[in-house]
Amino acid sequence: PIFIAETGCSTTGGDKARWLREMDVALRGALSPVQSVTWFEAAKEADWRLLSNQNTAQTARQIFGQTVYRRGE
């Protein structure tokens, strides 16, 4: 299995919600062999959290609520 040990996206300098949507497409497509992704959920030098703003939080809930991301249940 392939695991992504840590990834994240800062709120600064881009559109985090769009990046999450693009990551979702990649994980369900070309990167479908990936079995696990760990998100860096911290507000340190930048705000990396999925809940950093309302748009990002809503997008993350929509994406990660899909059955494909709930394999361990």
The tens digit of pLDDT for each residue in 13-53 reads: 889 999 999 999 999 999 999 999 999 999 988 999 999 99
What pLDDT, on a 0 to 100 scale, did the predictor assign at position 13? Answer: 83
Name residues whose C-beta falls within 8 Å of residue 36's C-beta, 6 or more positions apart in sequence.
1, 3, 4
pTM of the full predicted structure? 0.85
Average pLDDT over residues 46-69: 92
Q: What is the pLDDT, as a whole number, of residue 38?
A: 92
1 pLDDT above the threshold of 90? no
Q: Give me the pLDDT at residue 12, please.
A: 85
